[in-house]
């Protein structure tokens, strides 16, 4: 198997082009989109929330069972979340689970006129 890459920045190319064994594939600017995720931005947010959950759980020295009790989830849910398997969990549910471990999670809205407000999750 041979692989050649043409990096972005080459005139006329605004994304990476990969050739593997003579098959040329042009990628976008989004790894998740290239992997077939329907909503890459949402998936990225979920993965980041899951990683924050994992880090907070470790910092508090919680077992999966203990974290599950605090977050009101099943231990199997916690196992999936800490491994980054977030399909089937909403951003809101993951943010709420973080709050249940003591984080302060909020959604910040910045309007074009400059007004900003935050919505607390919980």
Domain harbouring 73, CATH code:
1.10.260.40
Residue 79 placed within a domain = yes
- The answer, yes or no, to whether residue 20 has pLDDT greater than 90, is no
Q: What is the pLDDT, as a whole number, of residue 29?
A: 65
Mean pLDDT taken over the chain: 82
Q: What is the pLDDT, as a whole number, of residue 9?
A: 46
Q: Are residues 57 and 18 in the same domain?
A: no
Q: What is the pLDDT, as a whole number, of residue 94?
A: 97
Q: Are residues 71 and 18 in the same domain?
A: no
Element (H, E) at 116: strand 116-120
Give CA–CA dist 122/120, Å, rounded.
Answer: 6
Q: What share of the chain is helix, strand, coil (3-state, %, to 5)?
A: 40, 20, 40
Cβ–Cβ < 8 Å for 63, 71: no
Q: What pTM did the predictor assign?
A: 0.69
Residue 70 placed within a domain = yes
Q: What is the pLDDT, as a whole number, of residue 43?
A: 87
Q: How many CB atoms lie within 10 A of CB 53?
A: 23
- Which of the residue ranges 10-14, 37-41, 100-104 has the most confident prediction, judged by mean pLDDT? 100-104
Number of domains in the chain: 2
The single-letter DSSP state of residue 106 is: E
Region for residue 16 given its phi and psi (left: phi exceeds 0; alpha: psi -120 to 50; beta: otherwise): beta
Domain carrying residue 17: 3-34
Q: Which of 92 and 39 is assigned the larger pLDDT? A: 92
């Amino acid at each position: 198997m041979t692989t050649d890459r043409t990096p972005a920045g080459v005139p006329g190319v605004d994304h990476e082009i990969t050739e593997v064994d003579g098959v040329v594939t042009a990628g976008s600017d989004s790894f998740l989109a290239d992997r077939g995720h329907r909503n890459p931005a949402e998936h990225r947010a979920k993965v980041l929330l899951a990683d924050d959950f994992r880090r907070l759980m470790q910092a508090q020295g919680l077992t999966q069972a203990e974290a599950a009790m605090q977050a009101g989830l099943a231990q199997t849910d916690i196992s999936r979340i800490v491994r980054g398997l977030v399909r089937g969990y909403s951003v809101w549910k993951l943010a709420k689970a973080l709050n249940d471990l003591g984080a302060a999670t909020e959604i910040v809205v910045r309007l074009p006129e400059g007004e900003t407000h935050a919505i607390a999750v919980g």
